[in-house]
Amino acid sequence: MVFKVKRSLVFGILVSALLLLSGQAAWPSAQPRTLLVLGDSISAGYGLQSGESWVALLQQRLTAQGYGYRVINASVSGETTTGGLSRLPRALALHKPAVVILELGANDGLRGLPLDTTRANLSRMVELSVGARAQVLLVGMKIPPNYGPRYALGFEKIFSELATQRKLALVPFFLEDVALAPGLMQDDGLHPTAKAQPLMLQTLWPSLLPLLKR
C-alpha cells in the first residue's frame, strides 16, 4: 500500500513536470491589461454605427499591433466632468485599468459651467486614476467663443495646465484635423462623422503610444 501511494505520487510529479515543459499545464492564463476610456458623446460614438468609433478602431489597432489590451468604453453621451467623476471610482474598481483615457469637459464648456469646477473635477479624476495605479492620457478640447473669448481660452488652458502640473500625457485638441474640415462633422456641427474617426485616432495615438506595454 505504501509503495502504491509513493508510486502514484511520483507519477503525478512526473506528469506535471512534463506538462510544464510542453507548455500544456492547466495554469490560468494572464489577463490582458485593460485600457479604460471615460468620455462623452465624442467617444461614445454618437451618430455612428457599431464599430465605427475611434474607440473601436483603437481596439483593432492594439490587437493588430500585438498590444494585449482590452479596451473598455465607459463613455456616455452628454456626460460632464461631474458625471464622469461620480462614475469613475466604480469603473476603476471593476476594471482595474492600466491606462485611463480622460475625454471629458466639452459638455461643461458648451453649457458654460464654472471653469473652476471643470478643472477640479478633472484633477480629482486624475488623482483617482493615478491612485489606482493607472497611467492617464488627458484629451483636450476647444469650444466656440459663445460665452466670450476669455471663457473659451480659459477652458482650453485647463487641459494644458493640468497636464503640466500632473506630468500627464496630453492630446492638446482631439478634433485638430477634423473640426473645420468639410464632410468630417455631422450636421449638428458638434460630432465627428465616421470618416473622421481614423483621423481622431491618428491624433491621439502618438500621445498614447508611450503609455503602452506589450
Global pTM reads 0.86
Is 40 annotated as catalytic?
A: no
Catalytic residue at 191?
yes
Half-sphere exposure (Cβ direction) of 105: Cα atoms closer than 13 Å: 31
**C-alpha dihedral, 51 to 204 to 79 to 42, nearest 10°:** -50
The CA–CA distances, whole Å, from 33 to 67, 135, 186, 206 equal 9, 12, 34, 19
Q: Which of 22, 29, 50, 188 is catalytic?
A: 188
Please name every residue paired with 73 in a beta bridge, in sequence order, or none if there are none: 37
Q: What is the pLDDT along the chain (214 residues), one digit of tens a residue?
A: 444 445 554 444 443 444 344 444 334 446 789 999 999 999 999 999 999 999 999 999 999 999 999 999 999 999 999 999 999 999 999 999 999 999 999 999 999 999 999 999 999 999 999 999 999 999 999 999 999 999 999 999 999 999 999 999 999 999 999 999 999 999 999 999 999 999 999 999 999 999 999 8
**The sheet that has 135-139: what strands, in order across it?**
69-73, 33-39, 99-103, 135-139, 169-171
Give me the catalytic one of 40, 41, 53, 75.
Answer: 41
Q: Active-site residue among 40, 75, 191, 207?
A: 191
Domains parsed from the chain with CATH numbers: 33-208 (3.40.50.1110)
43 is catalytic: no
